[in-house]
Chains A and B, each alone.
Chain A
Amino acid sequence: TQLLEQSPQFLSIQEGENLTVYCNSSSVFSSLQWYRQEPGEGPVLLVTVVTGGEVKKLKRLTFQFGDARKDSSLHITAAQPGDTGLYLCAGGVSWGKLQFGAGTQVVVTP
């Protein structure tokens, strides 16, 4: 099993602050996806990164895939209460199969 470790496990910040969530592994992944999950709901895909060194921006969210395709980060600028949720990274391990990290719970207070 290719393990994905996410850090921190929990992050509580004030509205307007920035935050970064990390996703690390000793294994190479063909792709890396980030999902956000709200209480009582299923995860929702935010982004997929494929190329080593790739950076994608989604409004205030910036995703980066490490050069060696073993790690990724998610940076949120000027966080808002609507960004509260469980952020999950998932690595592509074989055709169609994903290995999920345990998640980072983010709480943004007004």
Chain B
Amino acid sequence: NAGVTQTPKFQVLKTGQSMTLQCAQDMNHNSMYWYRQDPGMGLRLIYYSASEGTTDKGEVPNGYNVSRLNKREFSLRLESAAPSQTSVYFCASSGQMLGEQYFGPGTRLTVT
């Protein structure tokens, strides 16, 4: 099993450019999440999808949009990248009531 996969692993963007981060899980989980991780700040929730067809804002949604394409795939889009969005982005999925989450390897994004 691949678990949670993310593409790309690394990306450099110029301010104002757009891009989509892709995430897929093969564990048949209902819930999927996007986080960003910055030094000293832990993981902050950007958006989540409790089930196929639904998405909700997390703690830091500004500047991002998401699409739950199907049960397996959950993408994160930056429409106009800003230097403040330089971060490591993690996708996670969960299929259990207690919310144990399984993480992908991350995408390291730099916006110049």
Contacts and interface: CB of A to CB of B under 8 A. Distances in A.
Nearest to A32: B98
A101 B42 contact: yes
Contacts, number: 61
A73 B13 CA distance: 40
A33 B106 contact: no
Given A42-B90, A42-B106, A96-B31, A31 B98 contact: yes
B50 A45 contact: no
A97 B99 contact: yes
Contacts of B103: 42-44
Interface in B24-78: 31, 35, 40-45, 48, 50, 58-59
Query: Among B40, B43, B92, which residue has the most Cβ atoms of chain A within 10 A?
Result: B43
A110 to B, nearest CB: 26
Interface of A is mostly: loop
Interface string A62-86: 0000000000000000000000000
Contacts of A41: 105-106
A7 B55 CA distance: 33
Interface in A1-35: 1, 9, 30-31, 33
B100 A45 contact: yes
B105 to A, nearest CB: 5
Interface of A: 1, 9, 30-31, 33, 40-45, 48, 50, 88, 90, 92, 95-98, 100-103
| 5 residue pairs, one from A and one from B, having the closest CB atoms | A42-B103, A102-B42, A100-B43, A100-B42, A96-B99
15 contacts: A31-B98, A40-B105, A44-B103, A92-B99, A95-B97, A95-B99, A96-B50, A96-B94, A97-B45, A98-B99, A100-B35, A100-B43, A100-B44, A101-B42, A102-B41
